[in-house]
Chains A and B, each alone.
Chain A
Amino acid sequence: MSSTAAVHQDDHHHEPVRGWRRWVFSTNHKDIGTLYLLFSLAMFFVGGAMAMVIRAELFQPGLQVVEPDFFNQMTTMHALVMIFGAVMPAFVGLANWLIPMMVGAPDMALPRMNNWSFWILPFAFAMLLSTLLMDSGGPAGGWTLYPPLSLQGGNSFAFVIFAIHLMGFSSIMGAINIIVTIFNLRAPGMNLLRMPLFVWTWLITAFLLVMVMPVLAGAVTMLLTDRYFGTSFFNAAGGGDPVMFQHIFWFFGHPEVYIMILPAFGIVSEILPTFCRKPLFGYVSMVYATASIAFLSFIVWAHHMFTVGMPLGGELFFMYATMVIAVPTGVKVFNWVATMWKGSMTFETPMLFAIGFVILFTIGGFSGLMLAIVPADFQYHDTYFVVAHFHYVLVTGAVYSIMAAAYYWLPKWTGNMYSEKLGKLHFWLSTITVNILFFPQHFLGLAGMPRRIPDYSVEFAEFNLWSSIGGFAFGLTQLIFLYIVLKASFGKRTQELPDRVWEGAKGLEWTVPTPAPHHTFEQPPELRDEDLAHGDVAH
């Protein structure tokens, strides 16, 4: 703040303040992005530790490690922590870092609200996790919180509901910020159809968030009043209907599933062209496919509840609507394959994770299509087949895309190139172990093992053993990732990296110095077609 004060607003420092104030009071999109990503990383390990407890108990038949009630707390918390604490904040962190740089904006549109959206999260999760230490234990009715079971717990329930409300506030504010940034702060010439696909997918995701998080808030508030204020929304004895909760919950829940996968589609659509050295195939159809998937996500919710006893017409409608989702999703996968076709590929770690994503996510998509077929779903529903399905789309889908993104942009963020050797080791160990972990679960479900059980018949022993071994190995493998991220973030700078870290990388974020300075695009950039990820969509 010297002679430049005259030309700059005084809250635009060139260098960040030092110490804890930088992080607690930050309004800088890059710092807040970093906070989100580190928070997500921490939650990934907390949720992962819970998964280890689950797999340890399921290692062999009989109960060896925990009581059934604690097991249920672990399955419930694992899901809540991974969904709301690991996957969603990771995508918001990526959005914070990347969207302003990708559209040529100096920062997010609402920087103070941005600070608030993040700083709610540590409190929300401290409260959620603290329930594990309370007398009545943590929530044990599954992350879906189906009444009447969820209402049977102790008073820790009120803390869980409040924590979910807080997470909802955080998500809604984050989403509003993203929408406003994209609509108002694009550099001149950055038309909507010239935006990188990551920005597009996030724009659509943000609309989903704004539309469905209030629905979740409504559903859990009704649970709260049923539990403490004598209402009977979901209490059959008082004239309510437990099934109504499921309808409301999944009206939130299905779009929520796409909230966790659409940004992943965006990431993969950035990374594949870079390492194929070839433009993304079918940019416009990718945008339309994403929007179609988002629209369809509002009319398929009841496929999560085919067994509640719906009328035949309802079952048919939700089956057909769900099957239709395969069409735009297929378009995306085919477009990625066409992007790779006749490219000039190299296989750095981000590319490996992106290809891993396309293959393994597609396998999750196939089991999703199978689950859409109602008569077959009557067998699959609530079994390990479903567990395998959603872990393929969430772990080898969403989480793989986050890891691909971390490797891809880590040099830009930190100025350090990670070790390719370690990154590849991380990829191959993860990919081998994650398949040992989740593939046998398809067989377990088909053979008759229900989900959310702490103990099982001896006929399921062999595949559970494999699954647990894969789980422990996958968990340990992630320590490599932790090491790589921490080393790049805090290690000494060993080499000067060019602005365009990857040979084939396109997009405005690669036109700023590496590591990205605290402030970028204080003056709107001049757009040149060759810098843009999709500079040639004139047709």
Chain B
Amino acid sequence: MDNVLKDLRRLMQVNGQAHGLSARWRKAGLTACLGLLAAGTAQAEYGLNMPRGVTPFSSNVYDLHMTILWICVAIGVLVFGAMFYSMFKHRKSVGHEPAQFSHSTKAEVIWTIIPIVILVVMAVPATKVLIQMEQTGDTDMTVKITGYQWKWKYDYIEDDISFLSNLDPASNAARQLGSGIDPASVPNYLLEVDNAVVLPTNTKIRFLITAEDVLHAWWVPELGWKRDAIPGKVNEGWTYIEEPGVYRGQCAELCGKDHGFMPIVIDARSPEDYAAWVAEQKGEQLAEAQQVEREWTHAELFKRGQGVYEQQCAACHQLNGEGLAPAFPALAGSPVATGPVDEHLKVVLNGRPGTAMQAFGRTLSETDIAAAMTYTRSAWGNADKTPVQPREVVAAKRG
């Protein structure tokens, strides 16, 4: 290191003695390059490069990326090589007299034409891969993805399954400012969700991507692309996962304070295992539907509501119900949460346009809404101990 610094100092000297400088410098440069390469290979497991991915075009994207990277490296070596050669050979301190040429039409034509040729060489495969990526027809199933602040909703169009996917509670606890929890102790910190998207392998899946509030972007690097989720617009994308496994990604478009905390987890299973999962989901749906009709006690709803609140509401209104002034109002002692049930229901079901308050009537089950409302009406000193029954929510939804 000391030698390198010494050489740097020599190089900086305007009129430095040049004997033996270039040889020593070359040696130092070589050592530095080898050092970098060694560091590069040692770090490979940390993820230095784009993943090759698990779909037919994700590996094409990877190959394209590497091709262009190497072309750039080659051009860089030539251009920087010429510069460094010139800096060593054509310096005043070695007594080089300046030439006085100021243009050469031949050279200028050459270095305009060659880059054009290189660009055409790059554009051909890029166009091919792009056309392949945009073929969203002939799909076997469709999943609609909706971005919310700050979670994803997945609707399986053919199988009639839908659910929300939030950051998992362990990551959520650890990521609070000054939580005192070591992120390294949380498995898949910030890349784990409560409900993963289960998808079949070897199936052409179409995604319909949209958002309800602000822009989001759905991105799983292993699938080879991302696409913005935009309110009022439905974007398309497709995938064909070739290997079963768990693939993780994140929201990639700034969407507010918890943009960093809405991961995506794909659980890719064989078509048989996927069918079994669908059947299981159907059973749960049926059981949930039966729960709506019965009379719930306050204690039952309060307990369930606390879970729903922490997962769906606490990001803005905070665990202690105090909110975050001025954007996110407190619920403890709030006129809505302590006022008439039907007004409260309206806000929860329809949201407040222009704010981060969503229309939860479109995303949560009736039972979850009833539970969360029961919880907020009787927690933190709010005194309404009358439970909000799921069937009241059903009635309100019908209008």
Known: A62-B183, A279-B102. A309 touches B236 (CB 8 A): yes
Least distance between B354 CB and chain A CB atoms (Å): 7
Task: Among B119, B230, B327, point to the contact of A242 (Cβ < 8 A).
Answer: B230
Least distance between A65 CB and chain B CB atoms (Å): 8
Q: Which residue of B lies closest to A428 (CB)?
A: B8
B337 at the interface (CB under 8 A from A): no
CB-CB under 8 A from B64, the residues of chain A are 373, 375-376
A142 to B251, CA, bound (A): 15
B246 at the interface (CB under 8 A from A): no
B91 at the interface (CB under 8 A from A): yes
CB-CB under 8 A from A517, the residues of chain B are none
CB-CB under 8 A from B96, the residues of chain A are 342-345
A475 at the interface (CB under 8 A from B): no
A304 to B330, CA, bound (A): 38
CB-CB under 8 A from B111, the residues of chain A are 330-331, 334
B396 at the interface (CB under 8 A from A): no
Q: In residues 28-83 of chain B, which contact A (Cβ within 8 Å)?
A: 43, 46-51, 57, 60-61, 64-65, 68-69, 72, 75-76, 79-80, 82-83
B227 at the interface (CB under 8 A from A): yes
Flag if A148 contacts B49 (CB, 8 Å).
no
A280 at the interface (CB under 8 A from B): yes
Known: A237-B232, A342-B99. A61 touches B183 (CB 8 A): yes
Task: Among A340, A344, A345, A362, point to the contact of B76 (Cβ < 8 A).
Answer: A362
CB-CB under 8 A from A280, the residues of chain B are 102
Q: In residues 1-24 of chain B, which contact A (Cβ within 8 Å)?
A: 8, 11-12, 14-15
Flag if A308 contacts B260 (CB, 8 Å).
no
A355 to B97, CA, bound (A): 20
A237 to B231, CA, bound (A): 8
A231 at the interface (CB under 8 A from B): no
CB-CB under 8 A from A345, the residues of chain B are 86-87, 90-92, 96
Which of A148, A283, A376 neighbours the largest number of chain B CB atoms within 10 Å of its CB?
A376
A141 to B108, CA, bound (A): 45
Least distance between A356 CB and chain B CB atoms (Å): 11
Least distance between A156 CB and chain B CB atoms (Å): 10
Q: Is the interface of A mostly helix, strand, loop or mixed?
A: helix
B112 at the interface (CB under 8 A from A): yes
Task: Among A283, A352, A373, A382, point to the contact of B252 (Cβ < 8 A).
Answer: A382
Q: In residues 147-173 of chain A, which contact B (Cβ within 8 Å)?
A: 148-149, 151-154
A340 to B259, CA, bound (A): 47
CB-CB under 8 A from B129, the residues of chain A are 375
Q: Which residue of B lies closest to A63 (CB)?
A: B177
Interface 9-mer from B158-166, B217-225, B360-368, B380-388: B217-225
Known: A62-B174, A344-B96, A375-B130. A457 touches B65 (CB 8 A): no
B335 at the interface (CB under 8 A from A): no
Known: A341-B82, A428-B12. A370 touches B108 (CB 8 A): no
Flag if A453 contacts B259 (CB, 8 Å).
yes
CB-CB under 8 A from B100, the residues of chain A are 278-279
Q: Mark A126-154, 1 if CB is under 8 A from B, else 0.
A: 00000000011000111000101101111
Least distance between B98 CB and chain A CB atoms (Å): 4
Q: In residues 336-388 of chain A, which contact B (Cβ within 8 Å)?
A: 337-338, 340-348, 352, 355, 358-359, 362-363, 366, 369-370, 373-376, 378-379, 381-383
Flag if A241 contacts B233 (CB, 8 Å).
yes
Flag if B103 contacts A281 (CB, 8 Å).
yes
CB-CB under 8 A from B325, the residues of chain A are 135
Least distance between A500 CB and chain B CB atoms (Å): 16
B168 at the interface (CB under 8 A from A): no
Q: In residues 345-367 of chain B, which contact A (Cβ within 8 Å)?
A: 353-356
B182 at the interface (CB under 8 A from A): yes
A452 to B134, CA, bound (A): 28
CB-CB under 8 A from A66, the residues of chain B are 177
Q: Which residue of A lies closest to B60 (CB)?
A: A375
Known: A141-B254, A448-B249. A276 touches B98 (CB 8 A): yes
> Which positions in A face B, CB cutoff 8 Å?
61-64, 66-69, 72, 135-136, 140-142, 146, 148-149, 151-154, 236-237, 240-243, 276-285, 305, 307-309, 312, 315-316, 319-320, 323-324, 326-327, 330-331, 333-335, 337-338, 340-348, 352, 355, 358-359, 362-363, 366, 369-370, 373-376, 378-379, 381-383, 420, 424, 428, 443, 446-448, 450-463, 536-537, 539
Question: What are 6 A-B interface contacts by the 8 Å CB criterion?
Answer: A141-B254, A285-B108, A323-B123, A375-B130, A379-B65, A458-B189
Nearest first, the 7 closest Cβ-Cβ pairs linking A and B are A236-B232, A453-B260, A447-B47, A309-B235, A378-B225, A366-B72, A342-B99
Q: Apart from A141-B256, A308-B235, A453-B259, list 17 A-B contacts with CB within 8 A.
A: A63-B178, A72-B259, A146-B215, A236-B232, A242-B215, A279-B101, A282-B104, A315-B130, A326-B119, A335-B108, A337-B82, A347-B87, A359-B80, A448-B47, A452-B260, A456-B190, A458-B189
> Which positions in B face A, CB cutoff 8 Å?
8, 11-12, 14-15, 43, 46-51, 57, 60-61, 64-65, 68-69, 72, 75-76, 79-80, 82-83, 86-87, 90-93, 96-104, 107-108, 111-112, 115-116, 119, 122-123, 126-127, 129-131, 133-134, 174-179, 181-184, 188-191, 209, 213-215, 217, 219, 221, 224-228, 230-233, 235-236, 249-261, 324-327, 353-356
